[in-house]
Amino acid sequence: MAVSSSPWALIALFLMASSTVMAIPPRKAIDVPFGRNYVPTWAFDHQKQLNGGSELQLILDKYTGTGFQSKGSYLFGHFSMHIKLPAGDTAGVVTAFYLSSTNNEHDEIDFEFLGNRTGQPAILQTNVFTGGKGNREQRIYLWFDPSKAYHTYSILWNLYQIVFFVDNIPIRVFKNAKDLGVRFPFNQPMKLYSSLWNADDWATRGGLEKTNWANAPFIASYRGFHIDGCQASVEAKYCATQGRMWWDQNEFRDLDAEQYRRLKWVRMKWTIYNYCTDRTRFPVMPAECKRDRDV
């Protein structure tokens, strides 16, 4: 009997497969120079490469921010960055690291670090857009000062789940809930982006706290630049290696008990906002929340 090779048929086959293997952490990221996987995209004069390109600084002043993007576009994979955030009074300043497609009904997977006044903790906001729809914000405080040293922020994205990690601790899971009517990123190649910019119209206390330019320049530092993904052309609708890469295997289709315990620790101790529990915005809990085990 012939088997359809359409993306939807492949997805159905993969989702029907059951998982009985213990989940494990993603493979160790491999650090490479900036130019291996990334290129600057704007305000080149506000970027500085150090140590042969193994470290990059983005610089924000009152004139401009700056940013960079990946050379390739990807469908699924493991993406990691070591980041040291700007120090001091950073209210209004946003450092972003994310994947995004480029069409109107775009998909996006976001880390956004929201600055704060001196003595107040920085906030990490995550979001997932599918088919142009976002509004899935979660915000946490970090259990360390992210401006004192490098910490690792990574995304595992396969056909079954998207997992956000901080230093290999899962802080968020977004499961494939297509059967519940929730769209999931699966057929739009995405580039990786990072930027440092002024967002004092919304970033700190809803825009009440403005950027203090007396503290400029603000500097975000990067290392690692790890990409282990299925590189695709813009026209590609699914990954040609689907099912054969390490991130597709059974042990990466769900978190294990220890990883869920750590996620619960983040949710109970460090979470300050979760769209899943916001009954003002969502009188009915969004369908994906229970599957994500995030309530």
7: DSSP letter: H
Determine which one of 55, 108, 209, 288 is catalytic.
Answer: 108
- The pLDDT of residue 6: 45
- The pLDDT of residue 290: 87
- The pLDDT of residue 12: 45
pTM for this one?
0.90
211: DSSP letter: P
CATH code for the domain defined by 34-292: 2.60.120.200
Q: Which residue carries 């109970």 as its tokens? A: 268
Task: State which residues of the chain have pLDDT below 70.
Answer: 1-24, 233-238
- The pLDDT of residue 104: 81
- The pLDDT of residue 238: 67
- The pLDDT of residue 237: 64
Determine which one of 55, 112, 209, 288 is catalytic.
Answer: 112
> Is 137 designated active site?
no
Chain centroid to CA 37? 17
- The pLDDT of residue 234: 56
The number of C-alpha atoms within 13 Å of 32 and in the hemisphere containing its C-beta is 14
Tell whether the torsion through CA atoms of 261, 146, 57 and 41 is positive or negative.
positive
The 10s digit of each residue's pLDDT in 183-196 is 999 889 999 999 99
- The pLDDT of residue 235: 62
- Residue among 150, 137, 151, 134 nearest 100 (CA): 134
- The pLDDT of residue 84: 98
> What tokens does 155 get?
């995304």
- The pLDDT of residue 90: 93
Instruction: Indicate the domain borders of the chain.
Output: 34-292
> Is 108 designated active site?
yes
SS (H, E, C) 52-101: HHCEEEEEECCCCCEEEEECCEEEEEEEEEEEECCCCCCCCEEEEEEEEC
